[in-house]
Amino acid sequence: MARLPRLSRTQSLVSQTEQVLRDAIRSGRFGNRLPTAVELAEQLGVSRETVRQAEAALERDGLLVKYRRKGTLLRPPALTLRDARTRVLGYLQADYAAPGGAVEAVTGAPAALMLQGALREAGRAGFQLAVRHAAHDAMDRALRELQETVPLRGVIFASFGEEKLVRQALGLRVPVVLLDHDLHLPRIGTVREDSAQGAALAVAHLAALGHRRIAYAPWRRGDLNPWRLRGYRDGLRAAGLPRRRAWELPVEITPAGAASLAARLSELRPGPTAVVCFNNTLAHLLIEALARRGVRVPQDLGVMGLGGEDVRDLACVQTDWVALGRRAVQVLLRARENAAPEHHVVGYALRKGRTAASIGAR
């Protein structure tokens, strides 16, 4: 196997590693399988963690996909678009930024897992995915560039629901599926997790632990996921618990947003005994922000997440993101002109964790 040059330390090692691997993949240097992180770290003179971070960026871009017990397989874009021009599915993942420009951790881990599932299912069916990541307000350009690059047999929009652009995609006369979102549009298939059920399940768990004052921290872009707020309110109603507007605290999913949330929670009178967070990343950031303020979790405040990344010991509800990605491809490949669109909703399961305790144990 051809060896790679060792890297200098004049720039970010992660960035250097990512670029070297990206160039090597595009030139076909590795064949169809990436060497192990240990082998790459030794060749490049960097740590295995640096290699893993670089690989994560390449996986998000669809250049590689990891399989348990099989290693890391490559999907060079040039090869994909040259050899499968009539068997290509477009996959557009939307990313979001806070008003100040910081990237919000809204789709992170779920996006990577959904893409992993979509890649596996497309490959099993003999199709390739042409993957593009773009800011949510630049998706039109990403779709246009993708459309000009290769004929598409279908398009998946992941974590995105701008109606005008989705209608535009229908003009390509190919099937369109929304993944991790929903719109009431004709001819649009949808696959999403049951956010309402997940939020209601989280509230029911806290209520069973004896909590009577439960707050909710939704993402500031509530229009993109109204179901979790609905599920939170339904959960309170089902448990016979009071609902207060002051306990619904929209937030940016950033460290700064979590710090602001911790401060606002401490100012509430009466204060909640537990809080449900929009996703696991926000829950994790909030726990860290509370610790800096001397607030103990779960002794002083219970914290639950509504799915996303795996956070050790976190009380949360979680869904199968890989299965969502697989199902989106299945729905796309079954779609036919003038056929009724399919709509799938996947539920959540409870993970009790250690960040929410019974009132009696506090």
**Which pLDDT band holds residue 213 (cuts at 50, 70, 90)?**
very high
Q: Residue 117, exposed/middle/buried by CB under 10 A (0-12, 13-18, 19+)?
A: buried
Q: How far is CA 170 from CA 110, 156, 165, 185, 339, in A?
A: 26, 11, 9, 10, 14
Q: Is the peptide bond before 298 cis (omega within 30 degrees of 0)?
A: yes
Burial of 362 (0-12, 13-18, 19+ CB in 10 A): middle
- Find all residues with CB under 8 Å of 84, minimum gap 6, and list them: 127, 128
Phi-psi region of 65 (alpha: psi -120 to 50; beta: other; left: phi over 0): beta
| Residues contacting 114, CB < 8 A, separation 6+ | 158, 179, 180, 321, 322, 324, 325, 328
CATH numbers and ranges of domains, the chain: 12-74 (1.10.10.10), 195-318+350-361 (3.40.50.2300)
In the prediction, which pLDDT does 99 show?
67
pLDDT at 285 over 70: yes
**Percentage with pLDDT > 90 across the chain:** 41
Residue-wise pLDDT tens digits, 297-347? 999 999 999 998 889 999 999 999 999 999 999 999 988 655 788 999 999
Instruction: Judge whether residue 12 has pLDDT over 90.
Output: no
Half-sphere exposure of 126 (CA within 13 A, CB side): 2
Query: Which range (67-76, 108-117, 310-319) has the least confidence?
Result: 67-76
pLDDT in the model for residue 137: 74
Establish whether the linkage from the previous residue to 270 is cis, with ω within 30° of 0.
yes
Q: Using 50, 70 and 90 to split pLDDT, how confident is the model at 291?
A: very high
- For the stretch 214-226, pLDDT in tens is 999 998 877 778 8
CA distances to 122, 195, 222, 228, 230 from 244, rounded to whole Å, are 46, 20, 17, 16, 14
| Model confidence pLDDT, tens digit, residues 338-359 | 578 899 999 999 999 999 999 8
pTM comes to 0.73
- Quote the pLDDT of residue 183: 78
Question: Does the pLDDT of residue 284 top 90, yes or no?
Answer: yes
Residues listed for the chain = 362
Return all residues near 186 (Cβ < 8 A) that are at least 6 apart: 341
Question: When comparing pLDDT for 68 and 182, which is higher?
Answer: 182
- Across the chain, which distance is largest between two alpha carbons, in Å? 66
How does residue 102 score in pLDDT terms, banded at 50, 70 and 90? Answer: low
Q: What is the pLDDT of residue 32?
A: 67
At 128-157, the pLDDT tens digits run 888 887 777 777 787 777 777 778 888 898
Assign 3-state DSSP to the chain and report helix, strand, coil percentages, each to 5. Answer: 45, 20, 35
